[in-house]
Amino acid sequence: MARTNSALMMSMGTVNMWGFSPAYDVCSGLSEWNKGKSSWVNSDDDEQKVSNQPINVLLAGPGDVRHVLATISCRRRWEPAMKHRPVHIYIFEKAIETLSRDLLLVQVAFDANLPLRQRCNLFLEIFGNSRVQERTSVYIEEQAKLLIDFVYNDRGSLAGLVDLSHLKMRTHDDLIDSFRSWFQSVKFNVDTLLDHRLRHYYEVRYDYRDNLIDWDYTMKLKKIENASVIHIRQYRDWRNTGVAFEFGDQTYTVPNRTMAAYTEAKKKHHGSVLCRGLWTDIIVSPYISFGVHCEKPNRFVEQLFEIHNKGTGVEQNRHNTVEVAVYNVLSYLYEIETGKRYQMGKEHDIFSGIGDAEGTPSDDKLVPRFEELNEDTDQSKITEKELRKQHVAAQGCAETIKETLQGVKIIPLTGNVEDLFSKKRYTGLFDYAFISSQQCHTLQPSEDVKQQTTATITNILKDGAAVDVESSVFMLPLTEEQRALYVTKLQEWAAHHALQPTFDFHDKNEPSHEDMTKINNAVLRFSYGAKGASAV
């Protein structure tokens, strides 16, 4: 089994395609949001001035669009001084394949041609499965063609929402090449590639990998708060097959070509080359992004984490992580499309809050299973009436989506994140920054004195900005001591950049083993500048 640090880190993926922290509304980390009202909103004129300034958010290496969906969906719930301001979300991904996947997932999320339930399942299938259904593969190719048209001609569902002007023309070409690699005619033997990754990781213990998976689950993953909702069978099946989200009796036989990516490698007698393969995480799982945490607006949602026989040694979660993930994606899309917060209407039924949003009857409008037909009834009139009703509902939904997305811009970025810090167009721009575990090395102080003043994260932050850094809570390949040391180092690096922590580990600098099992510590929040310090 792999024991070196490089091999352990490689097991979490060299090309990140999902995050190691739960989704949440990123703007809840703003100093204005935390205080409920900005200290510089004192009059109507000031409020009008604030409302015209966009909230600029940087997501550095998130791996997916979980924070994008959560932020957009919660926008209507913000304070008046916040919710009327434009929101510009900058997504930085080092790998062009991850960036292209982000665009695909956004397009799938806003595909109004699909019913809400089907769209949620399809989103998660593309997001977390190495193999998909045949019809899903056809759908991905169709969406790839639409994305190519968007990059070429700036038209389609993403036009006006996604701004590609910050990318070089060469990057546009790379995006198009990535989209074309999703066509069904392109070969991608995902099973063989996954087997190569697993054999490299387990080495001589490959035949006993199920035992090692059980150990990781019992001794590491299950100890983390809410992580027991991930069932051992789901976790084991994903580790062995790469299929995380299964729905009903569907079969997943076609490779998910969106997971293909290039990474740097060394070829014997040749030197450095780019190698195409499956370079995603094979240890942590895509369940973390959507499947271990959610907002709980009522008691029915709290029951998603209900545990039976608690304290007996044979605990069993009533629900599983796939249900939580579906609930999260469903609640984001529902709130974007209706402007109302999604709430379950029945216990243990995640779809009970949809009601008329999908053309299905709600609890107070139940339709009898059998209906007595009158011979004199004009069926054509009934059909026409239903179609008219559906058309009106679709128009209302489209208007609500348009209103929700008004002022929202998604701006993709790629390259080296250090170059981002030194560009003048981004100087003092961002109100909020999220730094993933894949990009946290950018906080490490540089030995170059010139680089310390020109290429640091503080160059792009506004006074009072909030900085969230993904911690090591879900880094399963690391030991408890290594995870605690990781967080300690993050605090040291943050202090070097004058970032003030808004958290504390019981007045200790180093987190305890118990602290590293709290899901709230999956992201560490810091504040920058005088306003941030006063907020702390």
Q: What is the pLDDT of residues 258-296, one digit of tens each?
A: 999 999 888 888 888 999 999 999 999 999 999 999 988
Separation of CA 113 from chain center: 23
Q: What is the CATH number of the domain that holds 98?
A: 3.40.50
**pLDDT band, residue 313 (cuts 50/70/90):** confident
Q: What is the mean pLDDT of residues 207-231?
A: 95
| pLDDT band at 22; cut points 50, 70, 90 | very high
Whole-angstrom Cα Rg for the chain: 24
The answer to whether 275 touches 263, Cβ cutoff 8 Å, is yes
Rounded distance between C-alpha atoms, residue 15 and residue 474, angstroms: 17
Interatomic CA distance for residues 466 and 57, integer angstroms = 10
Let me know if residue 356 belongs to a domain: no
- pTM for this prediction: 0.90
Q: What is the pLDDT of residue 394?
A: 66
Task: Characterize the bridge pairing of strands 271-278 and 260-267.
Answer: antiparallel
**CA 273 distance to own-chain centroid:** 30
CA–CA separation, 319 and 229 (whole Å): 7
Say if 300 falls within a structural domain: no
User: Is the pLDDT at 45 greater than 50, yes or no?
Assistant: no
Please name the residue that has the structure tokens 């058309």.
Answer: 391
Lowest mean pLDDT of 78-82, 173-177, 458-462, name the range. Answer: 78-82
The answer to whether position 424 is within a domain reads: yes
pLDDT on residue 401: 81
SS3 of the chain: helix, strand, coil, percent, to 5: 50, 15, 40
* pLDDT single digits (tens) 7-20: 888 899 999 999 99
Please state, in angstroms and as integers, the Cα–Cα distance from residue 260 to each residue in 95, 114, 150, following that order. 11, 26, 21
Which range is least confidently modeled, 72-76, 168-172, 181-185, 284-288?
72-76
Q: Can you give the pLDDT at residue 379? A: 53
| The predicted structure's pLDDT at residue 212 | 96
Report how far apart, in Å, the C-alpha atoms of 75 and of each of 39, 129, 408, 455, 461 are: 20, 30, 10, 32, 22
The 10s digit of each residue's pLDDT in 114-165 is: 999 999 999 999 999 999 999 999 999 999 999 999 999 999 999 999 999 9
Q: Residue 203 — φ and ψ, nearest 5°?
A: 55, -125
Residue 357 has pLDDT above 60, yes or no: no
Tens of pLDDT, residues 410-421: 999 999 998 999
Give a yes or no: residue 69 inside a domain: yes
Write down the residue that tokens 């009857």 correspond to.
Answer: 361
232-238 mean pLDDT: 97
Q: Residue 314: pLDDT above 90?
A: no
**DSSP for 64-102?**
SSHHHHHHHHTGGGS-HHHHTS-EEEEEE-SSHHHHHHH
Bridge partners (DSSP) listed for residue 265: 273
CA 525 to chain centre: 18
Residue 505 pLDDT class (50, 70, 90 cuts): confident
Each residue of 367-398: pLDDT tens digit?
444 444 455 545 555 577 777 776 676 667 77
pLDDT the model gives residue 354? 85
Domain range spanning residue 421?
Answer: 17-33+50-170+407-526
Q: Is residue 369 part of a domain?
A: no
Residue 46 has pLDDT above 60, yes or no: no
pLDDT in tens, 440-492: 999 998 776 566 666 789 999 999 999 999 999 999 999 999 999 999 999 99
- Of the listed ranges 288-297, 327-336, 480-489, 498-507, the least confidently predicted one is 498-507
Is 195 a member of any domain? no
Closest CA to 422 of 451, 448, 461: 451
CB contact set of 422 (below 8 Å; sequence gap of 6+): 454, 455, 459
Asked, for residue 55, whether it belongs to a domain, the answer is yes
pLDDT-above-90 percentage for the chain: 69
The total number of structural domains in the chain stands at 1
As a whole number, the mean pLDDT across the chain is: 87
DSSP 92-125: E-SSHHHHHHHHHHHHHHT-TTS-HHHHHHHHHH
Say what the alpha-carbon torsion angle 170, 176, 178, 180 is, to the nearest 10 degrees. Answer: -150
In a domain, residue 370? The reply is: no
> Is the pLDDT at 39 greater than 50, yes or no?
no
pLDDT score for 454: 66
pLDDT-based confidence at 536, cuts 50/70/90?
very low
Contact of 190 with 177, CB cutoff 8 Å: no
Q: What are phi and psi of 293, to 5 degrees?
A: -155, 145
